[in-house]
Structures are given as structure tokens and as C-alpha cells.
Structure 1
Amino acid sequence: MVSGVMANSILITLEFGHDSIGDSGVQTLSNALKTNSTLTTLILAENSIGSNGAQALAEALKTNSTLTTLFLRDSSIGDNGVQALSVALMINSTLTTLNISGNSIGDNGAQALSEALKTNSTLITLNLYNNSIRPNGVQALSEALKTNSTLTTLTLGGNLIGSNGVEALSEALKTNSTLTALNLNSNSVGPNEALALSEALKINSTLTTLDLHHNSIGSNGAQALADALKTNSTLTTLELLDNSIGDNGAQALSEALKINSNLTNLDLMCNWIGDNGAQALSEALRANSSLTTLDLQGNLIGDNGAQALSEVLKTNSTVTITGIVF
């Protein structure tokens, strides 16, 4: 049945749902991919294809010249599977998006991918969410980012990258000139790591989106990022949901917003921000004309803070504030 489907000359997207194909089915599918010339998107998420299935796909990628998107989320490919895919990426010249989140690739898998990224010139989106990657793996990826000139989106959320990993990424951001989106959510990023990232943001001129939600940067980390926002001229989206920044962190960010003219989206959900922080943000919005979305859901803002934000909306017509009952 797989071969018949692949023979359809107009098929460009093929998806196998949860547990609908295993490694033997992927073997057949991979053989078809070696000659197919129309399929551009293949989605195999939540299928137990294992390392053998990944190796078969890797062989197909060495000759296939049309597939641009491959989703292998939660497919049990492990580090052996991703090592095979990495070898293929050194040869393949069409794949632009690879999602291998939730596959327990670990440091060995990350190191293999880093070698591929040093030579691959087509991949632009790489999702490595929830893969048990530790500092050594991130350090290897960071070295690749110093020379890679095509990757624009990197997702490393839900891993164990630690302070060494964040510092390595920060160093890479100082020289990398292509990455536009970096996701580090749920990685125990604290104040010191936020400081390292802020130093990189003072130099980097390409990153537009930084996702740090579900970390613990606190007020000191928010202060460090605020200092970077005073000089950074490219970041447009900053996700800080659930980081315990409090009123002091909100006040620091507010001072930056009075100067920054590029940030358009700021997520401050669930950060223990009270009336003082809300009032500081309202003062910033009187001067800021670039922010379009400010999310304050799940905070501790009372009537006084809501009133202050309500007043500023009378003169600032560009921003939308969510999470406040006016």
C-alpha cells in the first residue's frame, strides 16, 4: 500500500498517524522515497520506527531530491537513528525542516548532528525538544553554529543543557549571523545563564525570537535581559512566561521598553507581578510605540495596576494587553 501511495505523481504530503507504521513499513516507504520525485512533506510522528527505520530513511535521503520536511517526533529513533540521519544530512541538499523531538538522542546524537550542520547548507529548522541533551551535546551544537550559515530556527526546549550549555550557545550567538529563533524553554535557565544570553544579545544582530518560558531567571535575570534590550536592535519576541521575575523584574524591563523600539511581543504570564510592576509597565507604554502584544495573564495585578494600564491604553493604540480585566 505504501508503494502504491508513493507512486501517485501528485502527492506532496504524506502522514502516518499514531502507531500506524513501524520499522518494516518504513523500510518499504524508504525504498519508494529513493525514486519518488514529488513528495515534499513526510510526517511519521508518534510511530515506533526505531533506529532501523531511521537508518532506512537516512539511506533514502542520500538520493531523494524533493523532500523538504521530515517529522519524526516521538519515534524512538535514539542516538543510533539520528547518527544515520546526520550522515545523510551531509549529502542531502533539499531537506529544510527536521523535527526529531522526543527521541532520546542524548549527547551522542547532538554531537552527530553538529558534524552534519558544519557541512549541510539547506536545513533551516531543527527541532530537538525533549531529547535528554546535556551540556556536552549543546556545546557541540554551539560549535557548529559558529560556522553554519543556513539554520534559522533551533528548538532545544525540555532538555538538560545546564549553565555550560547556555554559555556555549551564548558564545555562538556572538558570531552566528543566521539564527533568528532560539527556544530554550524548560531548561532550568537561571539568572547567571540569563546574564550570559544578555551579553550575547548586545552583540548579536539576527536573533528575533528568544523563548525562555518555564525557567527561573528571576528578577536578576530579567534585569540582565533588560540591559540587553536597551541596545539590541533585532529582537522582536521575548517569551518569559513562568520565570518568577516579580515586580522588580517587571520594573527593569519597563525601563528598557522606554528605550527599545524593536520588541513587539512580550510574554510575562505567571511571573508574580503585582501592582507596582503593572504601574511601571504602564509608564513604559506611554513612551514605547513598538510593542503590540503584552501578556500579563496569571499575575497578581490588582485594581491599582489594572487602572494604570487602562489609562495608558487611552493614548497608546498600538498595544494589546491580555490577562487584565479593565
Structure 2
Amino acid sequence: MFPTHPLDLHEIRSRIARSLSLQDLTSCVLVSQDWNGSFTPSLYKTVVVSKKGLSMESVERNKHLIQDLSIQRFSDEKLSLTPAQDRVISYIMDNSTLTRLKWPNNSIGSNGAQALAKALKTNSTLTDLNLTNCSFEDDGTQALAEVLKTNTTLVILNLGYNSIREKGAQALSEALKTNSTLTTLNLAVNLTGERESQVLADALKINSTLITLDLEDNSIGNNGAQALSDALKINSNLTTLNLRCNWIEDNGAQALAEALKINSTLITLSLYNNAIHGNGTVALSEALKINSTLTTLNMYDNMIQEIGAQALSEALKTNSTLTILDIGRNGIRDSGAQALAEALRINSTLNNLNLEQSSIGDNGAQALAEALKTNSTLTALSLEDNSIGGNGAQALSEALKVNSTLTTLHMSSNPIENKGAQSLAEALKINSTLTNLDLYDNGIQEIGAQALAEALKTNSTLAILDLGRNGIRDRGAQALAKALKYNFTLTNLELENSSVRDDGAQALAEGLTYNYTLTNLDLQDNAIGDNGARALSEALKFNSTLTTLNLRITSVGKNGAQALAEALKTNSTVSILLK
């Protein structure tokens, strides 16, 4: 029945709002702030507040419905906590539904942190609090730390990028000695030296609940590493420790190695981007021969070189727990790769190995390939940005013909060229496990792309293929388009910056009319114009599976954009990226 009296504008908005998603309602707010009054959705559990989005007043009015609140930065300038924001936070923290509050990149300062601390004294539902980059320094940290002594619900606390110094670290340390619920603490990019880390290490000797500690980029140095090592010898609950970018050298690594010989709970250790050389790596390797719990070791961007790789390879021959090893950007060269290859023939637990930017050439790749013929556990291998050419790629291809476990192979930025692409194509005709192949920036041209396209006609496992920044041109794109008519497993095809023009785009458009599995097609940074865009728009009228079409940095003009917009009137699944 139709209403017998006209509805006012507010009522009309309210009725429309009931059928809108939160994303659509937020879009309405961008057009007119009047829509803020229509925000009364009973099922909306996650809310994002920003300068142009839903207002703080809307949040206050509906605080009893919200479980997950994210307050985004209100402007490019740093803002202090306003009285209105202070009031709203107090109201929200006092409700019985909010479990997660994210307030990153807002200069709430010490006053804001103190207001939150006051609210936390009575709140009994919040479990996750993110205050990254909020500029509250030691005073705000001390207020929050005081609350942690009595709070029994907060589980995750992110205080990264807040200029916390010794007083703040000391306060947090004291809180951790009595707090029995916090499991995750992020203090990345805060502390200025070894003293602060030593204070926190003292807390770890007593605390029995913290399982994840992030101390990234805190300049803890060797003395800080020594203090943490002493704590790890006693602590029996920490499972994840991030020490990325901390100026830890061989002495610090040796101290941590001693702890690993005793500690039986740490699962993940990140030493990414420190200054660990061969001696430190040798010590860590010796620890791995004894340790039976560590599963992930990240030593990316240190200085372990060949001696470190050789030491780690010896450890891998006996270690039975490590599953992820990242030693990319360490200059291990061919001899280091050859040593690791020997270990892979024996090791039966490692499943992810990152050797990117490691100065590995064909000889190293050939050794790794031989190991892959017998290894039955490695699932992901990254060799990107090395010096592997056609011969190395050919050896890896031969391995892929018999290997039945590797699912991901990253080969980007290696000069394998057409010869390597053709070899890999032959492997794809036989291999039945590889799902992700990254050949970005490999010097592959039309011939190589055509070979890979032929393989795709019969391959039934590959889901992701990255051929970006390869001069495959229109002929290569046309060959791949034909493959799309037969292949029904590929979901992601990356052709960024591959010298594809309108003819190639038109061929790909035709392929899309037959294909029903591809969900992402990346054609950005190509010379595709209006004709190519029109062809793609016609294909989108029939294709209902593509979800992302990337046409950024192309030559698509007004007419092409209009054609694509027309296609969107009937296609409700695809997102087209143009700007």
C-alpha cells in the first residue's frame, strides 16, 4: 500500500539507508553530510570514520551497535584530540559491544592517550587497540601502562611510531610484569637504544602471557640483543619476535643463538636488515642443529655471504622443524646456492626458501634444479633479481618436469629471455603442481610469450602468470588470448608494461568472451587506446567472471572511457582501474 501522506526527506533517506551496504552509505555521505543522520544499520559491526565519511556524531548515536571502529586521519595536518572526539571515545569505551578500536595516524597526543586510558579502566570488552603513530610519547604511554596493570580484556596493543623513550618503556615493562591477558605488543619504531630494550627484556623474564613482540627499527644493537637473549633463556611463552632493522651484529646474533639452544617456545624470529656477517650466521646455524621449535627464520638483507649460506646448509641437513628460511639479499652467490642445494636433497621440512637478490647465476640455479628433482617438501622458491640466464632456466624447467611439490616459482628480473621462457613452457606442459609463475622483467619477447601460450592450452594447474615488463607486444598478447579460449585454470594474468597496443587488447577481449575463470587482467602501462578499450568493453558485456581490469597509464581517451562505462551498466562484477 502506498503512503497516504508525503514523506519528509529525512524519512526517505532512512528508508533507503536500510537497504544500503555500509560502503554505499559511506559513499552517500561523501555526497552530502545529511546522510549521517540515516546511519542506523543494526547489522553494521565495522565502522570507518573519516573527515569525509561517517561522522563522529553518527558513531556516538549508534555506539551500542559497533564492534569494530576505525578512526582515520581527519586531514593532512596533525590534529589534537578535540572535546567532541574525547566525549565520543568515552561513550564508546563505556559500551558493551566494542571489541576493536583502530585510531592510527591521528595526533591525539598525551591528552588523547590519557583519555583512552581513563576509559579503559571501566571498559570490559575491548580486546584490540591500535594507536600507531599517535604522537603521545612517554606521558601517554605511562598512562596506558598504568591501566594495563589492572585491565583484564585487552589482548592486542599496537603502539608503533610513538616516540616512546626510556620512561615509557620502563612503565610498559612494569605493567607487563603484572598483566596477564596481553598477548601481542607492537613497539616498532619507538625506542632509541639499548637501555629501553633491556628494560623490556627484564619484563619478559616474568611475563607469562605475551606471545608476540614487535621491536622493529629500535636500534637495540648488540647489548639489546644480549638482554633479550637472556630473557629468552627463561621465558616460556613468547612465540614471535621481530628484531628487524636493529643494528644487530655478529655479537648480538651469537647471543641470540645461545638462547635458541635453550628456548623451546619461539617459533618465528626476524633478523631482517641487520648487520650479521658470517660468524653470527655460523652461530645461529649451530643453534638450529639443536633447536626443535623455530619454524621461521628471516635473515633477509644481512651480510652472511657464502660462508653463512654454507653454515645454514649444514644446519638444514639435521634440523627438522624450520619451514621458512629467508636469506635474500645476502650475496651468497653460486657457491652458497650450491651448498643449499646439497641440503635440500636431505632436508624434509623446509617448504619456503627466499634467495632473491643473491648474486646467483646459472651454476647456482642448475644446482638448485638438481635438488628439486628429489626434494619433496619445498613449495615456494624465490630466485627473483639474480643473474640466471637461459641455461639456468632450462635446468629449472627440467626439474619442474619431475618435481611434484613446488607450487610457487618467482623468477622475475632474471635474463632468461626467450630461451628460458621456451624451456619453462615445455615444463608447463608436463608439470601438474605449479600454480604461481612470476616471469616479470625477464627479457621475454613475442617468441617466448607464444611458447608459454601454447603451454597454457594444455596446462591445468597454473593460476597466476606474471609476464609484466616483457616486450611480448601484440603478437604475444594475441597468442595468450587464444590460450584463454582453452585454458580454464588461470585466474590472474599480468601484462603490465609489455608493449601491448590496440590489436593485442582486441585479441584479449575476444579471449575474454570465451574464458570464464580469469578474474584479474593487468594491462596497465601499455599503449592501449580507445579501440582497444571499446573491444574490452564489448567483451565485458558477456564475461561475468573478471573482477579487475587494470588500464591505468594507458592511452584510453574519453571515447574509450565512455565505452567502458557503458559496459559497467550491465556488468556488475568487474572493477575497471583507469586513473
Residue pair 1:192, 1:221 contacting (<8 A) in 2 also:
no
Q: The residue matched to 2:506 in structure 1 has which SS?
A: helix
Structure-2 separation of matches of 1:36 and 1:226: 55
Q: Report what 1:242 is aligned to.
A: 441
Q: Letter of the aligned partner of 2:378 in structure 1?
A: L
Q: The residue matched to 1:111 in structure 2 has which SS?
A: helix
Q: The residue matched to 1:187 in structure 2 has which SS?
A: coil
Higher relative contact order at CA 8 Å, sep ≥6: structure 1 or structure 2? 1
Alignment of 1:83-98 (within 5 A): 83-98=254-269
1:295 aligned to which of 490, 494, 499: 494
Alignment of 1:6-25 (within 5 A): 6-7=176-177, 8-25=179-196
Q: Letter of the aligned partner of 1:83 in structure 2?
A: Q
Structure-2 separation of matches of 1:62 and 1:228: 48
Structure-2 separation of matches of 1:274 and 1:251: 11
Q: How many residues align?
A: 326
176-185 or 41-50, which deviates more: 176-185
Structure-2 separation of matches of 1:250 and 1:188: 26
1:181 aligned to which of 337, 340, 352: 352
**Does residue 108 of the first structure (1) align with residue 245 of the second (2)?**
no
What's the Cα RMSD here?
A: 2.6
Q: The residue matched to 1:313 in structure 2 has which SS?
A: helix
Say if 1:292 and 1:45 are closer, same or farther in 2 by CA, change over 3 A.
same
Alignment of 1:124-135 (within 5 A): 124-135=295-306
Say if 1:9 and 1:181 are closer, same or farther in 2 by CA, change over 3 A.
same
Structure-1 separation of matches of 2:335 and 2:443: 22
1:319 aligned to which of 497, 518, 522: 518
**Does residue 64 of the first structure (1) align with residue 263 of the second (2)?**
no
**Does residue 53 of the first structure (1) align with residue 224 of the second (2)?**
yes
Q: The residue matched to 2:229 in structure 1 has which SS?
A: helix
Q: Report what 2:175 is aligned to.
A: 5
232-241 or 122-131, which deviates more: 232-241
Q: The residue matched to 2:514 in structure 1 has which SS?
A: coil
Q: Deviations over 1:53-95 (max 9, x none)?
A: 1111111111211111111111001121112112211221111
Residue pair 2:456, 2:483 contacting (<8 A) in 1 also:
yes
Structure 1 position 209, deviation (Å): 2.4
Q: The residue matched to 1:37 in structure 2 has which SS?
A: coil
Structure-1 separation of matches of 2:278 and 2:428: 32
Structure-2 separation of matches of 1:263 and 1:196: 25
Q: Letter of the aligned partner of 1:76 in structure 2?
A: W
Q: Report what 1:122 is aligned to.
A: 293
Say if 1:231 and 1:308 are closer, same or farther in 2 by CA, change over 3 A.
same
Structure 1 position 233, deviation (Å): 4.5
- Structure 1: runs of 5 or more not aligned: none
Structure 1 position 125, deviation (Å): 1.6
Say if 1:149 and 1:276 are closer, same or farther in 2 by CA, change over 3 A.
farther
- Structure 2: runs of 5 or more not aligned: 1-170, 386-412, 529-535, 537-579
**Does residue 216 of the first structure (1) align with residue 386 of the second (2)?**
no
Say if 1:135 and 1:308 are closer, same or farther in 2 by CA, change over 3 A.
farther
Q: Deviations over 1:104-137 (max 9, x none)?
A: 2122222222222222222222211111221221
User: Could you state the TM-score of these two structures normalised by the residue count of structure 2?
Assistant: 0.52
Say if 1:304 and 1:120 are closer, same or farther in 2 by CA, change over 3 A.
farther
Residue pair 1:195, 1:221 contacting (<8 A) in 2 also:
no
Q: The residue matched to 2:374 in structure 1 has which SS?
A: coil
Q: Deviations over 1:164-188 (max 9, x none)?
A: 2223333333333322222222234
Q: Letter of the aligned partner of 2:353 in structure 1?
A: L
Residue pair 2:323, 2:351 contacting (<8 A) in 1 also:
yes
Structure-1 separation of matches of 2:311 and 2:186: 32
1:141 aligned to which of 309, 312, 316: 312
Structure 1 position 103, deviation (Å): 0.3
Structure-2 separation of matches of 1:255 and 1:288: 10
**Does residue 263 of the first structure (1) align with residue 434 of the second (2)?**
no
Structure-2 separation of matches of 1:173 and 1:256: 28
Structure 1 position 310, deviation (Å): 2.8
Structure-2 separation of matches of 1:229 and 1:144: 33
Q: Letter of the aligned partner of 2:321 in structure 1?
A: T
Say if 1:311 and 1:166 are closer, same or farther in 2 by CA, change over 3 A.
farther
Say if 1:322 and 1:177 are closer, same or farther in 2 by CA, change over 3 A.
farther
Say if 1:195 and 1:292 are closer, same or farther in 2 by CA, change over 3 A.
farther
